[in-house]
Structure 1
Amino acid sequence: MAPVPSVSITIDRGGTFCDVWAHTADGKEIVFKLLSVDPASALLERKGERFALLTTEGFKDICRIGDQTRPKLFELNIRKPGVLYSKVVEVAERVTVEDYVLNPHPAEIDLSDPDLVKTSSGEIIRVLKKLDHAAVRKQLQQLFDEGFRSLAICFLHSYLFPDHENEVAEIARDVGFDFISLSSELSPNIKILHRTTSACADAYLSPTVKRYVDGFVSGFSVLPKRVDFMQSDGGLSTASKFTGLKAILSGPAGGVVAIARTCYDPEEGTPVIGFDMGGTSTDISRFDRIFEHVFDTTISAEINATLDVPMTAEEVASGFLAMANETMSRPIRNITEARGFAINKHNLASFGGAGGQHACAIARILGMPRIIIHKYSSILSAYGIGLADIVAETAVPAAYVFTDNALDTVLAHFDTLKSKTTAELVSQGVQPELVEHACYLSMRYEGSDTNLSILQPQGNDFRTAFVEAHRREFAFELANRPIVVDAVRVRGIGCKLSVLDSHVIIDMPSKERLSVEEESSINPVELSTFASRFMSIAEQMGNTLQRTSISTSIKERLDFSCALFTPDGKLVANAPHIPVHLGSMQFAIQYQHSVWQGKLQPGDVLLTNHPECGGTHLPDLTVVTPVFADGQLVFYVASRGHHTDIGGIGITSMIPDSKQLWQEGLAIRSLRIVSGGAFDEAAVRKAFLDVANMPGCSATRRLNDNISDLKAQIAANQRGITLLQALCCEFGTPRVQKYMYSIQANAELAVRNLFRRVAHERGPAPLTATDYYDDGTPIRLAITIDAATGSAVFDFAGTGPQTHGNMNSPVSITHSAVIYALRCLIDLDMPLNQGCLNPVDIRIPRGSILNPSPAVAVCGSTIASQRVVDAILRAFGAAAASQGCANSLGWGEGGRDPVTGVVAPGWNYGEALGGGSGGGWGTPPEGDDDVGDVRPLPTQ
């Protein structure tokens, strides 16, 4: 009897199908599919392990608060995802970093202090509160008695000082807990929210995954030579090392490995976009020499307001397909164009059960030259698992400036970590001589928190590699700013051989400009397509701004907005950023247009923030750039970002006791900061520094950061220009502008229909509401609707007078509140734009707190935006109000001493605290989200 040949079997258990690929020693390949018997996901369907979270005292709600952002900006029925843990316990422990980067007066640290600990990264930690082991044991025993067997542990600064987590874990093992997840082991990174959620996901999933793995392995009558599991990082793990956190994206990771090994040609070097469309989700990835994992799950957008255009059933179905293809193209743009890569320099690798049905359309939309379809495209994730390497990865935190002297330290870390990963792989059955290593440094510019993972280059020239990567991704470098190493990472790889297999290759015809013949009517499919493209461009502008900025206000709090405007300054489309910015920015653009009409050239950029010129409060600096096509002004793009320090009489830009506008810092009506592509840094510096000439005022304490953020805003605008010009090249400028105005007309129709419906339901009587500031100043609103025309008058007569303080609000903010509230009341997926305001007549009495006289203080005007929205929603009976206050907390040091007049170096810190949203129809209030959509700064 012939011996049974050995066989290699790989399985991808997806949401719809279970894909199987087998390869025998005699070269035979077997492929088949099974329906997934139980497609449930323990994470998505909340069927994971019951566990408890242990965290630093005072931080029990960190997961519940999260980052305060709203899942969907215009939804009134806010439903935040729940927490994974069943119980949270606060542990009495606290450590802190002894010094800080912005300290203007650094001093020698005395390490003889018994409460100070020098960590392996070089950071000095002060132990403020030591662990009480007896108290911790009592807490753990109580959890154990309540039936908990799984724990997640995350303490502040444990990425630098893991001792307290390790001590608690040791006690927990002694008590008898089965599974313990430590954030310092899973994710040794600075951000505590990310570490906490990682530890929670691991504690929630790993016990369930372990039971599944044990059950799977026990099903073999004779245990195979190896049973490995795919991880989210694209590597294999033995059953004993496989955890829930590493399993979440293991299926899509198999697809990435497959396209890397079978669809990428290293000799040609063309990067590959993976398009995996299965029965449950669509996953997007990019491969170029080395693995980068970026996935987006996409769904089709909702249909827009009816246009009364007759369409056949086939045309409607074709329209849905077109919108689905456009929607799935957006995440591809996000991982290419948004990061500085040209889409048309990539091949598209299509796989998954439905990928082939959409690949040609998506390649045509994106201008991609070639489609690659592997012969096993329907089971490519399973096939990729068979091509994956066994991997082990380890990292250590670091906290030092990269210099030539630091290179020896880096190389020593690499050697240590190589030994650890090799030992780990050998324990999994890999021969030592087959182990290869990839070494990385996590690097960033000092003052920024955007890390780039830099693969060890030839000659160990990490500095040049980082600068080149930063310039490629963000289009600039910070020549005089130190580069910081945050972490050292080594990935050990137990290598396998792979063989390119046969494919179907589709070479797409060159993409030509589409027909620009005018049509007599608006095509609703194209209307949705252009709306999606415009919103995508604004989103990519925002991505660029966040990634290139320096300040925590823009980078972390995301206190910025980006938008597109018509050539006369009216809002076309925006990304879902800050509500108070979105409706008010068009006032700033229209003012700049009136001042500079006919005077601007390509390469010019303007700066403004004055409340009389379309600004909100002074910290919100708006950068405006004209867009030209065929020599004509066709759009404006703009980005507005909150600068924490712009000078003035206070320590932050939110000054509690200001009475006049000049006390609040920099105020610019219009300044051309870039002329013909040349940045006028001298003029910018002068404008910021001149603030110190006013009585009692200081200039900004972080001028270089202000300038860096302005350059980031300029870069964001340039990204928008590039994409808009490409859109005009693709479709023709007349067609693009036709749909630009049609999108506004569509929004206008939606608002008129809203007014008609409300008038029918509520009758002819005005809708009224009154809200009050904390000092009793009223905001009175009467909304009179004309049912025949679908228009409305928003009359704020009776609103209280302007104050001798800073709660006064520019007119633009009230307009912003009105357009935002109306957009929230329309249950359609459409961009916020000027069309929403076309049917509205807004009347605000001059001299009121919502329309004050010139030169009054306005830094507290953020309150008005919330109060006015509350009043509008109350008038429509749409939602109750929460506290209606945009809390601001700030502190710092330095600036002009009010007694001596001496100007000292310093810094400041500003924080916005979310006040929650009121209850609406069918949903309870959410007390821990931020209706302003601004994130809190990370604690560490």
Structure 2
Amino acid sequence: MYVIGIDVGGTFTDFVVARKGQPPRYFKTASTPNDPSEGLMTGLNEAASAHDLSLSDFLASADMIIHGSTVATNTLVERKGAKVGLITTDGFRDLLEMREGLKEDRYNLRMTPVVPLVPRYLRAEVPERVKADGKVKVALDEDALNKALDGLKDEGVEALAVCFLFSYLNSDHEDRVGEIIQDKFPGMYTSLSSQVIPQIKEFDRLSTTVINSYVGPVLGRYLESLQERLTSYSQAGDFLIMQSNGGVAPIEDSSRLAVRSILSGPAGGVSGAAAYGRLSSSANIIAFDMGGTSTDISLIENGEPHMSTEKFEAGWKISVPMIDIHTMGAGGGSIASVGLGGIMQVGPESAGAVPGPASYGKGGGLPTVTDANLALGYLDPGNFLGGNAKLDRSLAEKAVAGHVAQPLGLSMIEAAEGISTVVSTSISEGVRLMSVQRGVDPRRFTMMAFGGAAGLQAGKVARQLQVEKVIIPAAAAVLSAHGMLSTDLKYDYSRSYPAALLGIDLDAVKGIVSGMESEGRDKLLGQGVPESDIEVTVSADMRYLDQIYEVNVPLPSLAQDPAACLDQWAANFHNRYQELYSYSQSEQEIRLVTLRATVVGRLPKLDPPPLDTGNTGPPKEKSRRDIYLGGWVEAPVYEIGDLSPGSSITGPAILESDFTTVLVEARDSVTIDAYGGIELQVSLESGPDTAAATDRPDPVTLAVVEHRLESIALEMTEVMLRTAMSQILNSSRDFSTAILDADCQLVAQGEGIPVHVSALPVAGAAVRDYFGDTIAEGDLFILNDPYFGGSHLPDITIIRPVFDQGRLLFYAVNRAHHSDVGGGTHGGYNPRATEIYQEGIRIPPLKLYDRGVPREDVLQMLSANVRQPENFLGDLNAQIGSVMIAAQRIGELLESYGADRLLATVEEILAATERQVRQFISEWPDGVYYGESLVDDDGFDSKLIPIRAKVTISGDSMTIDLGESSKQVKGFINSAYANTRSLAHAAIMYIAPADLAKNEGSMRPVEILAPKGLIVNANPPAPVCMSTNHCAEEIVEAIFKALSQAVPKEVNAGFSRRLRYAITGKDPRTGRQFIWHFFLARGGGGATYGYDGWPGVGEINVAGGIRSPSIEVTEERFPFFIRRHELRPNSGGSGAWRGGLGGICDLVYEGEGPALLNTAGDGIVVPPFGLFGGEDGLPHDYKIISNGTERPLGSKETEVVVNPGDHVYCLSSGGGGYGDPAERSPEADEWDRRNGYVG
């Protein structure tokens, strides 16, 4: 009897056929994207013929077929899913489109907004509401529901999705909706969020549920049709579908929960790597799957793949448990190019299968990784893809020479080697970043390389990661299909149960866990799995009280003594947190968020038998050919299938088969294992780069170092996100990370917000100038003083110097907005302040660590001056952790290159960016251009305060002169120079090409003039707390207006201005004081030529960098009831391209006694401006409604009393329009009206 694994990929469909006691057999056939079942049936016919059987006899002999498919993925990515109708809680239908304010690229303002999977006209709201305690606040209105369902049916929807707030706690309303839907429309494909993913965070649940209904009908039809075809050929065994969690499930379950199959193909590969790891006694594995278009990276620890519940696919979040797979745009078909600054780039653009690499000869003239490897001699041009394709080496060499070598002044072969090195670096940095997220050291892992392109890059990637051993399985080319034969039936369950661990109701926990376990057991028993083959693991997602991101930890035995159970549970959490982030906070309250159970039904395994040792003599060469490894060498070529277990080969050499090629470099060696796999031992001998420091760094080194520096800055971001305590940091992401050189030039930045980044060099210079030669290794500095390089007092900067052999070479920097820094009022924004002393604690450059030893006196002094010292110190620890990891990584970079070589390379990277900026400025028309923007007021007597920019373009440079702006004012909208510098830089970066590196080189061609005593460079002690928004946004606006006269198609109309409020009060549920910052109802973005503005993206100075918090998490943590959070129709300015819509938020305060509210912002008087005939967006409209009486809120008020039951009602601005509204396309205008965006 046979077991068959089938993986349908984009280019090939792979088959593995296994029988007990026999080696598996592998087959490949061309995929048929229009109907994947055609290629599948063709392959089954070929497999049957290879076994001398008819297809009917072959399938009748199959005990089990396991199928992994890209159908669900392609349906989502290609947007070919069902027409879905969505039912939500009244007031929340737009959460899907608002996407938490997310905009993937902060600096790219010319992006098409992500189109929701369910358009607004198919999103229906129904009166109902459950509160954060699970109790019903508003009963389900069934009449309204029936009316909504009838309307959706009339629109022709093919599937429905239902997502109500807090349905994970109380699913009664969703259950009733499901019943009514089936009564009215029997058989309608319906997804209830409480069944798809019953856990906290409404956007996660909503997005996942909508995806399920979007792809489910398509996947279901495909699977049902395929099963019918197989059954017609006598297939009677089990037919199972690979799931994203690494398990399998029957067709019925796979169709009902289709979202769980989105990553079924890649999950098969990781399962195969884990299974082969068990055979080869490798428990810790980096799974490296490199194909034609992309590379998938996963980590397997102690034999089990790491799992994730956070994955974005095609712009939408998927939160069901799945194998944690990091996909990178680095494959064999990735295109190599040279940026305007002269730095080599590889990917993420791909040549695809058509036209493909230049060497395919199908019309593609751009060089790819495959072309480079062919030019280097690594590939056999006559036997590519099993002989299905022949490669033309001359075309490859021509493409590499013309598009990479010549622009960089390299020989063709140097350029080809550089392409191979750069793509390997990109992949290794992806592994490093994933390792940081998971708290593991890749050096203690074995790499498992598979997929068509991995064998050529695996040694290079491993060497960069200091991984000594690489395994290329015998089934490397079909490992995804092979891995499916090593899987089990697997069901994941989750139930959110937010509660403090101390005093938790253990009986309730036991009931939830028991219910999940019973559901899984019953399902498996019903499928014929013996009780003895069922395994259950239970775990919990937990966090410290004020954090957002959870850590998954195993549950202790719930049968033990309650006190012992809680002690062990807390210890499990603290220990896991320590493993991930190198510290824990044992004094912090621990919160349970979600309980999880995984129920597995073990399936019979057909592990391949060991191969016969065969020929024990030296391996026989198939041929020899010249390959390039820093110079041409003649290397032996071996046929992998001819090598016997135990065979050993020392590099340089090439091992190849029909679909796998392995490069063995000099000093590396390979051994064939017992199953025909290749074990590559990687030589880690290396030292600092020996090239002379005076030599100009080569283009390959430039690209590699740039990648690594950017990766280090991103690692800082990841550490910060996972460990920060305050919602403003871990949810809203109001922080930035960067690396400076010893001269305090910006070298690299992480995923920060634009308002911060170019101010960080000024902060570094303040530390350098103040402490000078006394700066020592192990020191750590802190500052927030705007007159010493800070932005405003809530933004605290941590700076870690990095030394090498006693030389100060770099600084790692983290700037983060703290929720409170003392001062005259809570939250850091004091509209009544007339001096900086009234805004909070002012920290000039101070030494926080002295030669590695924390200065407890300084920490105590700081924490004693803020309202929430526990949160303050927790956030400070997160900042410190992020710069510590950066210092460690920079040290590794110094070890690789040596100090002088690295410094020279960094300077050349900055020079390359400078050249790129000068290039695009030189293409702009010379001239002097003027722009003006107005601030509403300063909170006192000054009104309509002007910010004026005179921009002079001359050749390849420009001057931004802000000298005609208002004098400094009494209120807190003044700006210090560092902040002004950052905003002027951001304005140019918004207009620049999106892929431009954001570093000091990009500012060199731009001179910024901001005379002292003006609002844009105030003298102390002027208050400046609001300056990161106002006059920050107006600085950008004035520059945009000026440049609109020179480059009209490159600038945007006005974005919504920021109008925030902070509220402090007492939570009656905990007795704790709280401070909460409003980040909901984000304003709309300005339109630009060719693009509508983004809805809910926020203000221009952050441009999507700050996220909206979860409604459910907010209500669970703070005493609020949010009645609605939705888009504000008609708020975007009309134009040929419409401004993005603002938002509406209606929040009810439910605290103990009165709360105090401060506002801080602008944009009530001056609206977001339109450009070139586009209309202005609507201004903000904020108010408090108390007992039916409305009280307008000004933009700069302090200590406004909010009583329990009062509403804070906010309507935020929409963005400005671009171009004459009469020129808007009729189709766009109709779409706006149909969806209620206008009208």
* TM-score, normalised with respect to structure 2: 0.69
On the 8 A contact 2:545/2:588 being kept in 1, the answer is yes
Distance apart, 1:649 and its partner CA: 2.2
Alignment of 1:325-724 (within 5 A): 325-403=424-502, 410-411=509-510, 413-456=512-555, 461-496=568-603, 497=605, 499=607, 501-518=675-692, 520-690=695-865, 700-724=866-890
Structure-2 separation of matches of 1:884 and 1:166: 40
Q: Identity of counterpart residues, as a percentage?
A: 28
1:13 to 8, 16, 19: 8
Query: What corresponds to 1:272 in structure 2?
Result: 285
Structure-2 separation of matches of 1:703 and 1:413: 36
Give the letter for the 1:747 counterpart: T
Query: What corresponds to 2:329 in structure 1?
Result: 299
Distance apart, 1:476 and its partner CA: 0.8
Query: What corresponds to 1:59 in structure 2?
Result: 92
2:79 to 20, 26, 46: 46
On the 8 A contact 2:287/2:449 being kept in 1, the answer is yes
Structure-2 separation of matches of 1:396 and 1:795: 57
Query: What corresponds to 1:170 in structure 2?
Result: 179
Moved more, 562-571 or 67-76: 67-76
Query: What corresponds to 2:656 in structure 1?
Result: none
Distance apart, 1:317 and its partner CA: 3.2
Matched, 1:768 2:905: no
Deviations 1:495-516, CA, capped at 9 Å, x for gaps: 1346364410000002412432
Give the letter for the 1:360 counterpart: G
1:93 to 109, 124, 128: 128
Matched, 1:742 2:755: no
Report the aligned-residue RMSD: 2.2
1:373–1:882 CA distance, 2 compared to 1 (3 A): same
Structure-2 separation of matches of 1:72 and 1:583: 17
Structure-2 separation of matches of 1:353 and 1:724: 33
Deviations 1:600-637, CA, capped at 9 Å, x for gaps: 22222111111101111111111111111212211111
Distance apart, 1:252 and its partner CA: 0.7
On the 8 A contact 2:287/2:298 being kept in 1, the answer is yes
Structure-1 separation of matches of 2:1086 and 2:875: 34
Structure-1 separation of matches of 2:524 and 2:11: 33
1:391–1:12 CA distance, 2 compared to 1 (3 A): same
Distance apart, 1:306 and its partner CA: 4.2
Distance apart, 1:285 and its partner CA: 0.5
On the 8 A contact 1:364/1:508 being kept in 2, the answer is yes
2:301 to 282, 285, 288: 288
SS of residue in 2 equivalent to 1:136? helix
Matched, 1:866 2:1033: yes
Structure-1 separation of matches of 2:499 and 2:957: 61
Matched, 1:30 2:25: yes
Deviations 1:698-728, CA, capped at 9 Å, x for gaps: xx33110000100110000001011000111
Matched, 1:917 2:1085: yes
Distance apart, 1:657 and its partner CA: 3.2
Distance apart, 1:474 and its partner CA: 0.9
Query: What corresponds to 2:252 in structure 1?
Result: 240
On the 8 A contact 2:208/2:259 being kept in 1, the answer is yes
Structure-2 separation of matches of 1:894 and 1:587: 39
SS of residue in 2 equivalent to 1:42? helix
* TM-score, normalised with respect to structure 1: 0.91
SS of residue in 1 equivalent to 2:485? helix
Structure-1 separation of matches of 2:985 and 2:589: 44
Deviations 1:642-692, CA, capped at 9 Å, x for gaps: 1111122223223333322122112111222222333334422323434xx
Query: What corresponds to 2:158 in structure 1?
Result: 149
Give the letter for the 1:509 counterpart: S
Structure-1 separation of matches of 2:556 and 2:285: 22
On the 8 A contact 2:795/2:815 being kept in 1, the answer is yes
Distance apart, 1:267 and its partner CA: 5.5
- Which has the higher relative contact order, 1 or 2, with Cα contacts under 8 A spaced 6 or more apart? 1
On the 8 A contact 2:160/2:189 being kept in 1, the answer is yes
1:62–1:405 CA distance, 2 compared to 1 (3 A): closer
Give the letter for the 1:843 counterpart: L
1:90–1:888 CA distance, 2 compared to 1 (3 A): same
Structure-2 separation of matches of 1:573 and 1:255: 34
1:411–1:678 CA distance, 2 compared to 1 (3 A): farther
Matched, 1:252 2:266: yes
Give the letter for the 1:53 counterpart: L
Structure-2 separation of matches of 1:186 and 1:657: 49
Structure-1 separation of matches of 2:1077 and 2:168: 25
On the 8 A contact 2:135/2:170 being kept in 1, the answer is no
Matched, 1:881 2:1053: yes
Give the letter for the 2:530 counterpart: Q
1:929 to 1097, 1110, 1121: 1097
On the 8 A contact 1:339/1:474 being kept in 2, the answer is no
1:838–1:264 CA distance, 2 compared to 1 (3 A): farther
1:488–1:777 CA distance, 2 compared to 1 (3 A): same
On the 8 A contact 1:619/1:653 being kept in 2, the answer is yes
Give the letter for the 2:601 counterpart: G
Moved more, 451-460 or 352-361: 451-460
Structure-2 separation of matches of 1:213 and 1:364: 43
SS of residue in 1 equivalent to 2:427? helix
SS of residue in 2 equivalent to 1:921? coil
Deviations 1:458-484, CA, capped at 9 Å, x for gaps: 886332222111001011111112322
1:76–1:482 CA distance, 2 compared to 1 (3 A): closer
On the 8 A contact 2:755/2:983 being kept in 1, the answer is yes
Structure-2 separation of matches of 1:905 and 1:43: 45
SS of residue in 1 equivalent to 2:1030? helix
Structure-1 separation of matches of 2:282 and 2:33: 42
On the 8 A contact 1:15/1:279 being kept in 2, the answer is no
Distance apart, 1:560 and its partner CA: 0.6
SS of residue in 1 equivalent to 2:93? coil
* Number of aligned residue pairs: 885
Structure-1 separation of matches of 2:594 and 2:957: 58
Give the letter for the 2:25 counterpart: I
On the 8 A contact 2:168/2:200 being kept in 1, the answer is yes
1:337–1:451 CA distance, 2 compared to 1 (3 A): closer
In structure 2, runs of 5+ residues without a counterpart are 35-70, 307-322, 331-335, 343-406, 609-674, 937-942, 1045-1049, 1113-1239
2:891 to 725, 734, 749: 725
1:302–1:770 CA distance, 2 compared to 1 (3 A): farther
Structure-1 separation of matches of 2:511 and 2:90: 37
Deviations 1:870-926, CA, capped at 9 Å, x for gaps: 22233233213224512322212269xxxxxxxx96211113454333222332222
Moved more, 248-257 or 860-869: 860-869
On the 8 A contact 2:485/2:606 being kept in 1, the answer is no
SS of residue in 2 equivalent to 1:850? coil
In structure 1, runs of 5+ residues without a counterpart are 1-5, 98-123, 691-699, 896-903
Moved more, 309-318 or 726-735: 309-318
SS of residue in 2 equivalent to 1:297? strand
Give the letter for the 1:853 counterpart: N
Give the letter for the 2:733 counterpart: L
SS of residue in 2 equivalent to 1:481? coil
On the 8 A contact 1:262/1:499 being kept in 2, the answer is no
On the 8 A contact 1:54/1:88 being kept in 2, the answer is yes
Alignment of 1:779-818 (within 5 A): 779-787=947-955, 790-818=956-984
1:13–1:267 CA distance, 2 compared to 1 (3 A): closer
